[in-house]
A and B are shown apart, each in its own frame.
Chain A
Amino acid sequence: EAQVTQNPRYLITVTGKKLTVTCSQNMNHEYMSWYRQDPGLGLRQIYYSMNVEVTDKGDVPEGYKVSRKEKRNFPLILESPSPNQTSLYFCASRLGVNYGYTFGSGTRLTVV
């Protein structure tokens, strides 16, 4: 089944403790993105990648890092999480620039 897989689905952590949210897609898509979704603010892009080793900042990149060492994987790294990073996170991939994104099921992160 064609899909984007994120892990974990739920995560509660403490301020300052480094964490990684994994994302993997099995569709051989070149484009991948991370979004966060907050009430009243909608989906906002954190980082995106157009191919292996090619990444760039979206609208809200502060406090996040990404890497794209393989085409299928695009992990999101929070080096020192803070409470304002409590949110619902989505990884997404698409075949090309004119195509719609396929989204993962989401990771609900709580930072206390």
Chain B
Amino acid sequence: EDQVTQSPEALRLQEGESSSLNCSYTVSGLRGLFWYRQDPGKGPEFLFTLYSAGEEKEKERLKATLTKKESFLHITAPKPEDSATYLCAVLMNTGFQKLVFGTGTRLLVSP
């Protein structure tokens, strides 16, 4: 069964305390992996797309990496405004290229 699992479910950091979020997947053919940020009561906001193992993308304090079984979202020296839920989604290589979301990691960064 195609599955996307994110860990931890919730993470609390002090401002400046770097950490990583994990997205592991078991799918029948990966076409791409997406990271989104979601603020309470809002729609997910697109961050990155990764297509192949070894690929890395960066945006401000965020860096996403991809291996054959998982992806990491590294947060360097986070600030309170980085508090949000981070979602990963896997684009599968099926007939209509199905996109499957994980349940997310809730990140809280305290000043």
Tell me the A residues contacting B by CB distance below 8 Å: 4, 33, 35, 40-45, 48, 50, 56, 90, 92, 97-106
Contacts and interface: CB of A to CB of B under 8 A. Distances in A.
A75 B66 CA distance: 35
Given A50-B96, A105-B42, A106-B43, A41 B103 contact: yes
Interface of B: 31-32, 34, 36, 41-46, 49, 51, 87, 89, 91, 96-99, 101-104
Contacts of B97: 97
Contacts of B31: 97-98
A24 B101 CA distance: 23
Nearest to A6: B43
Contact of A105 (B32, B36, B43, B104): B43
Contacts of A48: 96
Contact of A103 (B44, B49, B91, B103): B44
A42 B85 CA distance: 11
23 contacts: A4-B43, A42-B87, A42-B101, A42-B104, A44-B101, A48-B96, A50-B96, A97-B97, A98-B32, A99-B49, A100-B34, A100-B49, A101-B34, A101-B44, A101-B99, A102-B46, A103-B43, A103-B45, A104-B43, A105-B42, A106-B41, A106-B42, A106-B43
Contacts of A98: 31-32, 49, 51, 91
A42 B103 contact: yes
Contacts of A103: 43-45
A41 B96 CA distance: 22
B46 A101 contact: yes
B107 to A, nearest CB: 16
A33 B89 CA distance: 14
A91 to B, nearest CB: 9
A42 B45 CA distance: 15
